Amino acid sequence: MNWRCLLQLFLGVLAFTGLGIYCTQNGIMNIADVTSKLFSFSTNGRQNIVFSKTRIGPFPNKNRSACSCEGYSLIVNTVPADELEDLQRRRSEQYRQYQLRMKTNMDPLLLAPSNSPLQYPLHGFIVAPLQQSSIPGLALHAQKSIRLFKVSLSVKSGVLSVKDVSDGELVAGRGQSELTISSTSLTQLNNILSRVTYTSTVYHVKTKDMVLFSYENHEAIFPIVIKRPPVPLLYDPGKDINSQVTITTKTFLRYYELDVLIKSIRQFYPKIKIVVADDSLQPEHVTGQNIDHYIMPPARGWFAGRNLAISQVTTKYFLWVDDDFIFGNKTLIERFVEIMEKVPELDVLGGAVGDNQFYFHLQYDEGDEDEGGCLRRLQRRTHQSLPDFEGCFFVDGVVNFFLARTDAVRKVGFDPFYQRVAHTEFFIDGLGDLLIATCKGVTVGHQSNTKKGKYRHFRFQGKKDGEHKLAHHYFKNHLRCIRY
């Protein structure tokens, strides 16, 4: 479909100008040009949706087509051929369940009716499940010379009613999914509409119903969000950095480097809490004031250790550092906190390790529902600058030195499948959920004289490990291909 057409359709719906816009392969058609004629558009030759003048939705957003894997790794090739068919069957079923669970269909396409006399809540009407709520803003704006005014409303997952119906008010269908209101007086009709209520009949903590509102040959559809209000989760920031931030790290066979890190932290932050997750083969004691040392099963892995460390954080933020980092004069945790406090929407804020301010943008195409999506990591690409903070930019991933909101990262978590080489994988899992930025000026050092020993043997993954990792992406992230 023509991209200009898509853009104008989107803007037309948002602006609610009363102008019906339809898209075709050849461009844009005005609703006045097509009258009652039916026409369709298709993507890659596949018919998707048929529009008519009287149809305004909801239309399913299923215009997805296969994404291009040119220049990418086709990860389906990492799955053993004798397992592929059964794996694809399981993946398809799990993807279907994911869509239901995450309500990926909660926002179908709705088109604003052209020059409609119907007034209704276009957006923002939220109700609690199974509880009666008045529908705000319902009204009819029609010519008063008509002998009888009659409107109807219908829903899918609830019932409609009218509060305090008096004698002489013609209301049919109270307590049912379809409600009809009639009156010879437009004023009376609108008064009744102001008392219309909705009650969901299907319990769910987050779902949506659609209301069809009609008058003569005019129709409008608007959504009702059915949602239980969440209980706030707040952290007391206390009076200083020690009550705001916990420093977390994961160690494996590198006690010398860990000791250097801890001593450097204590030079600048003598009282801040440090949490260490340790899956070394032969654990050693790590002691010191305000240090929690957690021993894991041997070689359990990088992301399992991250999960353990962060599970023990009780502060609003945690600072993630590798065990071979070293604090210096520019390791200013307070600067991180200052930015995060001023931008409450931010979830993760990265700095730099030495001269390396590693960050990236994830280019993701959902692809079609059968084959899956395409994902590419574009290094040193940003979205845009963070307003009011020079040198800060929105990105999709940052270096292994970052401050994060504890509750936000816990919701995403670190997949313990990734035991050795893993970093981008966390940001892939958090794409669309975490708001991430990177900033210049806050830096941690990297120890240069580190002892390798057995560590090097475990550090780098082999070819087989890499293939297992790609196969994991294929199923878990519903990907067709990936390029780091």
Segments making up each domain of the chain, as ranges: 3-51, 118-227, 241-483
Bigger pLDDT: 99 vs 14: 99
Strand partners, 20: none
pLDDT at residue 62, as a whole number: 59
CA atoms of 325 and 402, how far apart (whole Å): 12
pLDDT at residue 298, as a whole number: 94
How do residues 369-416 score in pLDDT, each as one tens digit?
899 999 999 999 999 999 999 999 999 999 999 999 999 999 999 999
Among the residue ranges 209-223, 299-313, 448-462, the one predicted with the least confidence is 448-462
Regarding pTM above 0.75, the answer is yes
Contacting residues for 126 by C-beta, under 8 A, at least 6 apart:
224, 225, 226, 227
* Structure confidence at residue 115 as a pLDDT band (50, 70, 90): confident
Asked if 302 and 420 touch (Cβ cutoff 8 Å), the reply is yes
Burial 156-179 (b: 16+ CB within 10 A, else e): ebbbbbbeeeeeebebebeeeeeb
Q: Is 54 helix (H, G, I), strand (E, B) or coil?
A: coil
Determine the average pLDDT of the residues in 3-31.
Answer: 36
pLDDT at residue 14, as a whole number: 38
16 pLDDT exceeds 60?
Answer: no
27 pLDDT exceeds 70?
Answer: no
CA atoms of 38 and 30, how far apart (whole Å): 13
Which own/partner pairs from 356-359 qualify as long-range (CB within 8 Å, at least 24 positions apart)? Answer: 356/399, 357/399, 357/438, 357/440, 358/398, 358/399, 359/393, 359/395, 359/397, 359/398, 359/399, 359/438
114 pLDDT exceeds 80?
Answer: no
Among the residue ranges 86-95, 347-356, 414-423, 456-465, the one predicted with the least confidence is 456-465
Asked if 212 and 154 touch (Cβ cutoff 8 Å), the reply is yes
* Structure confidence at residue 77 as a pLDDT band (50, 70, 90): confident
How do residues 422-475 score in pLDDT, each as one tens digit?
899 999 999 999 999 999 999 999 998 766 666 665 666 667 878 889 999 999
pLDDT at residue 45, as a whole number: 38
32 pLDDT exceeds 50?
Answer: no
pLDDT at residue 104, as a whole number: 58
Contacting residues for 386 by C-beta, under 8 A, at least 6 apart:
339, 343, 392, 393, 394, 437, 439
Determine the average pLDDT of the residues in 349-367.
Answer: 96
Bigger pLDDT: 73 vs 176: 176
CATH architecture of 118-227: Sandwich (2.60)
Reading the block at residue 68, the tokens are 């291009």
Helices 463-476, 81-102: axis angle to 10 degrees equals 40
pLDDT at residue 90, as a whole number: 92
**Domain covering 241-483, topology:** Spore Coat Polysaccharide Biosynthesis Protein SpsA; Chain A (3.90.550)
CA atoms of 221 and 146, how far apart (whole Å): 24
pLDDT at residue 43, as a whole number: 34
CA atoms of 446 and 468, how far apart (whole Å): 30
7 pLDDT exceeds 80?
Answer: no
pLDDT at residue 458, as a whole number: 61
How far does CA 42 lie from the centroid of its chain? Answer: 28
pLDDT at residue 28, as a whole number: 32
Determine the average pLDDT of the residues in 135-155.
Answer: 93
* Structure confidence at residue 50 as a pLDDT band (50, 70, 90): very low
Sheet bearing 196-200, strands edge to edge = 133-134, 196-200, 158-162
Q: Is 389 helix (H, G, I), strand (E, B) or coil?
A: coil
Among the residue ranges 19-28, 255-264, 281-290, 305-314, the one predicted with the least confidence is 19-28
| pLDDT above 70 coverage of the chain, percent | 83
CA atoms of 478 and 90, how far apart (whole Å): 11
Among the residue ranges 103-107, 232-236, 411-415, the one predicted with the least confidence is 103-107
200 pLDDT exceeds 80?
Answer: yes
- The whole-chain average pLDDT of the chain stands at 85
Bigger pLDDT: 3 vs 434: 434
* Structure confidence at residue 481 as a pLDDT band (50, 70, 90): very high
